[in-house]
A and B are shown apart, each in its own frame.
Chain A
Amino acid sequence: MNLNATLFAQLVVFFILAWFTMQFVWPPIVKALDERAKKIADGLAAAERGKHDLELATKRSTEALREGKEKAAELLAQAEKRAAQVIEEAKATAKTEADRIVAGAKAEIDQEAVRAKEQLREQVSALVVSGAEKILRREINAQAHADILATIKQDL
């Protein structure tokens, strides 16, 4: 344990080694470490963002699904309503048509009946006249009593 010039030599070596480390060893490694730390931080942030996006998308898809269901239900209700309406309209049209046909038929029947009555009346009056003629051939002049015959015919 003697002291000698080794001390100074060691001192110089010490500074040379420290300088070398400062120049060539420390900076690249520290830079790489910082870069990696940044990469990891970015990766974590991206993962967080992805998670958030996924949550949003899930929410949106649920929302869309719900909306679609609602819309479908609404459409179904509308369609049912429309169908009911169509049926009602059809019923109404059919009823009107039926009424019209019935009315027409009735009118025709009435007409027919009037005509038949008219014919009947004429035939009856002719019959009556012919009957009365036969009875009154001898006493009544058809021309003379025409007005009476007409009155009778009117009353039939």
Chain B
Amino acid sequence: MSTAGHEEAAANAPTAGEYIVHHLTQWNSTGHAQKDVIDFSVINIDTMIFSVLMGVLGLFVMWRVAKSVTSGVPGRMQAAVEIVLEMVNDQAKGIVHSAESRKFVGPLALTVFIWIFLMNSMDFLPVDLLPTIWQTITGDHHAYLRVVPTADLNGTLGMSTGVLLICVYYNIKIKGMGGWVHELFTAPFGSHPLLYPVNFAMQMIEFLAKTVSHGMRLFGNMYAGELVFMLIALMGAAWTASATGVSLFLGHIVAGSIWAIFHILIVALQAFIFMMLTLVYVGQAHEAH
């Protein structure tokens, strides 16, 4: 009798492991969890929806401000946008010295900062809120949904690959195709036929390492942050009408508050770091070795 009751409960409520694995599975175009580690025929619908949503939201707000912008006394919204823009512009000026390039790099850095900040901020929503709503809407209680696009490696690597392409573009634009190829084979160790393959290998490793670490850094932070929120949620979910259970509930409140407050820092910091690295990499593309 008791064993049967236990089994029934286990069937209804997922175990901690199942809960986390379920929460970390993307809603993708196949309708089930992705089998292979790399499969380019699959696309994560949830990541796309939320990243586009956040991008459109951020840009829409800034666009509204830009449309009614005044050089006179600014309103609060305009002042807020101006503060961010000036911060980004100052950083861009300090790192990318070409004013011509800054016409694109400045807006790029601003977009990166605002967009990542908003995507990271999806972490502040209760971990079960949007998935539960989604499961209710679809009627499928096992429907997958992840709401933080930056906690999806595809999202962050997509952006860092974008930065890589921009770096390649500026390398060619500033140094010329020949100049850049010359640099690929002669830097960092020097111009000698024997050193050409070594130099080229180093350069390739450098580009790969930059791009992967750029994307992985953001992904790792947000993924870990999300995971901690899930663990805290599990703690609250395990509460019962016993002393241990109540203390778990209180632990959820305390740990959840502390982690959410700390996460505000991480959200802003990671957005800032991603933006700064974007500027640094583009700046490096402007400098000859």
Q: Whole-angstrom distance from the CB of B112 to the nearest CB of chain A? A: 8
- Given known pairs A10-B158, A13-B51, A25-B63, the reply for A5 and B110 (CB within 8 Å) is no
Q: Is the CB of A24 within 8 A of B40?
A: no
Q: Is A135 an interface residue (CB 8 A)?
A: no
Q: Whole-angstrom distance from the CB of B242 to the nearest CB of chain A? A: 37
Q: Is the CB of A35 within 8 A of B71?
A: yes
- Given known pairs A7-B154, A10-B154, A29-B66, the reply for A18 and B38 (CB within 8 Å) is no
Cβ contact of B107, chosen from A11, A13, A18, A32, cutoff 8 A: A18
In whole angstroms, how far apart are the Cα atoms of A36 and B154 in the complex?
Answer: 41
Q: Whole-angstrom distance from the CB of A99 to the nearest CB of chain B? A: 91
Q: Is the CB of B69 within 8 A of A29?
A: yes
In whole angstroms, how far apart are the Cα atoms of A32 and B66 in the complex?
Answer: 9
Q: Is A50 an interface residue (CB 8 A)?
A: no
Which of B82-90, B135-143, B191-199, B252-260 is the interface stretch? B82-90
Name A residues whose Cβ lies closer than 8 Å to a Cβ of B: 1-11, 13-15, 17-18, 20-22, 24-33, 35-36, 39
- Which B149-202 residues have a C-beta within 8 angstroms of A? 149, 152-155, 157-159, 161-162, 165
Interface of A is mostly: helix
Interface of B is mostly: helix
Q: Whole-angstrom distance from the CB of B168 to the nearest CB of chain A? A: 13
Count how many chain B residues have C-beta atoms less than 8 Å from C-beta atoms of the other chain. 55
Q: Is the CB of A6 within 8 A of B110?
A: no
For B52, give the chain A residue with the smallest CB separation: A13
Residues of B within 8 A of A36 (CB): 71-72, 74
Q: Is the CB of B155 within 8 A of A28?
A: no
Q: Is B76 an interface residue (CB 8 A)?
A: no
Q: Is the CB of B158 within 8 A of A33?
A: no
Residues of A within 8 A of B157 (CB): 3, 7, 10
Residues of B within 8 A of A1 (CB): 152-153, 219, 223
Q: Is B43 an interface residue (CB 8 A)?
A: yes
Residues of A within 8 A of B103 (CB): 22
